[in-house]
Amino acid sequence: MHFEELIKIVKERRDNLQVTQEYLAQLSGVGLRTLKQFESGKGNPTLQTVQKIADVLGLEVSLKLKDVTRNQ
Amino acid sequence: MHFEELIKIVKERRDNLQVTQEYLAQLSGVGLRTLKQFESGKGNPTLQTVQKIADVLGLEVSLKLKDVTRNQ
DNA sequence: CAAAATAGTGCTCTTTATTGCTCTATTTAT
DNA sequence: ATAAATAGAGCAATAAAGAGCACTATTTTG
């Protein structure tokens, strides 16, 4: 999963939940500036930052063996 | 997936592949110090760092909806 | 057990992420 | 079309990550 995909998932999830960046920042404890940077693809957030955001959105960061079969 | 789990997965995968920290550092382009810190649970790596390491190990970072049913 | 290899840590410097503030751009609602 | 709300960006300070080096601790191997 590339960076852009991760961003897309966060943005989509946030939109679905109808939460603004501002409110998500508050809820997650991540600075608004940091969140803005992340969502606009400018950042290289730390794992902690990503996890804080993910937590609030009901998302989960995971690390798994890449599927080599490549379909499904 | 908590931080410790992510670390465990990296270490286990590296062990399985019989790659040393030193070699993984070289292959991934991540500094040896950084890798050591990460694996020993001392660090808070950036997403980029995690992805570099994951790539070499054939692992994938992903972000998905948390499963609320909680069992499998 | 001794030697060799691998992993972890203190010190330290450089780079960059995080953050707030302010302003601009874009999107949404009336 | 305007106003209001939301998102993106420049500037700047602070904190923390990335990194190398040298040393210690632990693990593995003969």
For residue B59, the chain A residue with the least C-alpha distance is A65
- pLDDT by 10s per residue, chain B, length 72: 999 999 999 999 999 999 999 999 999 999 999 999 999 999 999 999 999 999 999 999 999 999 887 555
Q: Which residues pair with B5 in a beta bridge?
A: none
Q: Is the pLDDT of residue A70 over 80?
A: no
Report pLDDT for B71: 56
**Cβ–Cβ below 8 Å for A63 and B9:** yes
Confidence at residue B69, expressed as pLDDT on a 0 to 100 scale: 75
Q: Is A10 part of the contact surface with chain B (CB cutoff 8 Å)?
A: yes
Name B residues 28-57 whose Cβ lies under 7 Å from strand C: 33, 36-37, 39-40, 42, 46, 48
Residue of A nearest to B56 (CA): A66
Both structure tokens of A22: 């501002």
How many other CB atoms sit within 10 Å of the CB of residue A38?
23
Coil, strand, or helix at residue A23?
helix
| Whole-prediction pTM | 0.91
pLDDT tens for each residue of A5-47: 999 999 999 999 999 999 999 999 999 999 999 999 998 999 9
Q: What letter would DSSP give residue A40?
A: T
